[in-house]
Structure 1
Amino acid sequence: MKYPFEKALPILEEIEKAGYEAYFVGGSVRDLLLNREIGDVDIATSATPEEIKGIFSKTVDVGIAHGTVVVLYQGESYEVTTFRSESEYDDFRRPNDVTFIRSLEEDLRRRDFTMNAMAMNKDGEIIDPFDGRAALQNKVIKTVGDASERFHEDALRMMRAVRFVSQLSFAIDSETFQALKEHGKLLSFIAVERITTEFEKLLMGQDYQQAIRLLIETGMYQYLPGLTSYKEELHAFQQLQLDRSFTIEEHWVILLYHFNLPPTEVESFMRGWKQPVKKIRSVQKGLSCLYKRMNSGWGIEELYRAQIELAVSTEKLFNVLMKKDKDYGIKQLEEQWQALPIKERSELAVTGQDLMAWYEQKGGPWIEERLRQIEIAVIKREIRNGKESIREWLFECNQP
Structure 2
Amino acid sequence: MEDKARELLRILNDNGYAAYIVGGYTRDVLLGRKSNDIDICTSATPKEILDIFEDVKVSDMQYGSVVITYKGYKFDVTTFRKEIKYESNRRPIKIKYIRDIKKDLLRRDFTINTLCINDKGEVLDVLGVRSDLDNRILRTVGNPRYKIKEDSLRILRCIRFATILEFDIEKKTYYYLGKYGYLLKKLSMERKKEELDKIFSSKNKERGRRLILDLNLTNVLGINNLSNIILCTDLIGIWCQLEVEDIYPFTKVEKEQILCLRELLKYDEIDNYLLYKYGLYLCTVYADIKGLSKRNLNKMQSELPIFTRRDIVIHGNDISKILGKEPGKYIKNIMDDIEKKILYNKLANTYDDIKRYVIDNYME
Assess same fold via TM > 0.5.
Answer: yes
Which residue does the alignment assign to 2:281?
Answer: 309
Supply the distance in 2 between the matched residues of 1:176 and 1:194 (Cα, whole angstroms): 21
Indicate whether 1:275 and 2:250 are aligned: yes
Amino acid at match of 1:338: S
Amino acid at match of 1:289: L
Match of 1:81 among 45, 56, 78: 78
Indicate whether 1:342 and 2:306 are aligned: yes
C-alpha displacement of 1:357: 2.5
Asked if the contact 1:114–1:131 (Cα under 8 Å) also holds between the matched residues in 2, the reply is no
Which residue does the alignment assign to 1:137?
Answer: 134
Alignment of 1:165-184 (within 5 A): 165-184=162-181
Supply the distance in 2 between the matched residues of 1:66 and 1:128 (Cα, whole angstroms): 24
Alignment of 1:316-335 (within 5 A): 316-319=288-291, 329-335=293-299
Q: Percent identity?
A: 29
Cα distance change on mapping 1:209 and 1:392 into 2, 3 Å: same
Supply the distance in 2 between the matched residues of 1:88 and 1:329 (Cα, whole angstroms): 54
C-alpha displacement of 1:91: 1.6
Supply the distance in 1 between the matched residues of 2:38 and 2:6 (Cα, whole angstroms): 10
Indicate whether 1:128 and 2:125 are aligned: yes
Which residue does the alignment assign to 2:226?
Answer: 234
Asked if the contact 2:27–2:113 (Cα under 8 Å) also holds between the matched residues in 1, the reply is yes
Asked if the contact 1:30–1:118 (Cα under 8 Å) also holds between the matched residues in 2, the reply is yes
Which residue does the alignment assign to 1:285?
Answer: 260
C-alpha displacement of 1:364: 2.4
Cα distance change on mapping 1:70 and 1:333 into 2, 3 Å: closer
Q: Deviations over 1:262-309 (max 9, x none)?
A: xxxx5xx313112222211111111221221xxx23333333333333
Supply the distance in 2 between the matched residues of 1:43 and 1:158 (Cα, whole angstroms): 24
Supply the distance in 2 between the matched residues of 1:58 and 1:31 (Cα, whole angstroms): 28
Supply the distance in 1 between the matched residues of 2:128 and 2:254 (Cα, whole angstroms): 41
Amino acid at match of 1:288: E
Cα distance change on mapping 1:131 and 1:351 into 2, 3 Å: farther
TM-score (norm 1): 0.86
SS for the counterpart of 2:21 is strand
CA RMSD, Structure 1 to Structure 2 (Å):
1.8
Which residue does the alignment assign to 1:249?
Answer: 236
Asked if the contact 1:192–1:274 (Cα under 8 Å) also holds between the matched residues in 2, the reply is yes
Supply the distance in 1 between the matched residues of 2:281 and 2:197 (Cα, whole angstroms): 22
Alignment of 1:156-195 (within 5 A): 156-195=153-192
SS for the counterpart of 2:102 is helix
Asked if the contact 1:168–1:206 (Cα under 8 Å) also holds between the matched residues in 2, the reply is no
Alignment of 1:216-235 (within 5 A): 216-224=213-221, 226-227=222-223, 230=224, 233-235=225-227
C-alpha displacement of 1:176: 0.4
SS for the counterpart of 1:57 is coil
Cα distance change on mapping 1:396 and 1:291 into 2, 3 Å: closer
Match of 2:150 among 128, 150, 153: 153
C-alpha displacement of 1:133: 2.2
Amino acid at match of 1:235: S
Q: Deviations over 1:371-394 (max 9, x none)?
A: 011112222333321222211221
Indicate whether 1:70 and 2:67 are aligned: yes
Asked if the contact 1:166–1:203 (Cα under 8 Å) also holds between the matched residues in 2, the reply is no
Q: Deviations over 1:344-380 (max 9, x none)?
A: 2111001112122223333322111000111122223
Asked if the contact 1:12–1:22 (Cα under 8 Å) also holds between the matched residues in 2, the reply is yes
Which residue does the alignment assign to 1:396?
Answer: 360
Amino acid at match of 2:358: L
Supply the distance in 2 between the matched residues of 1:220 and 1:341 (Cα, whole angstroms): 48
Supply the distance in 2 between the matched residues of 1:341 and 1:220 (Cα, whole angstroms): 48
Q: Deviations over 1:214-259 (max 9, x none)?
A: 11111222211x23xx2xx42344xx564xxx22112223x33xxx
Supply the distance in 2 between the matched residues of 1:241 and 1:90 (Cα, whole angstroms): 35
Which residue does the alignment assign to 2:315?
Answer: 351
Supply the distance in 2 between the matched residues of 1:58 and 1:309 (Cα, whole angstroms): 42
Which residue does the alignment assign to 1:260?
Answer: none
Size of the alignment, in residue pairs? 364
Asked if the contact 2:264–2:274 (Cα under 8 Å) also holds between the matched residues in 1, the reply is no
SS for the counterpart of 2:245 is helix
Asked if the contact 1:307–1:343 (Cα under 8 Å) also holds between the matched residues in 2, the reply is no
Cα distance change on mapping 1:36 and 1:374 into 2, 3 Å: same
Deviates more, 1:296-305 or 1:164-173: 296-305
Which residue does the alignment assign to 1:27?
Answer: 24
Match of 1:377 among 324, 341, 345: 341
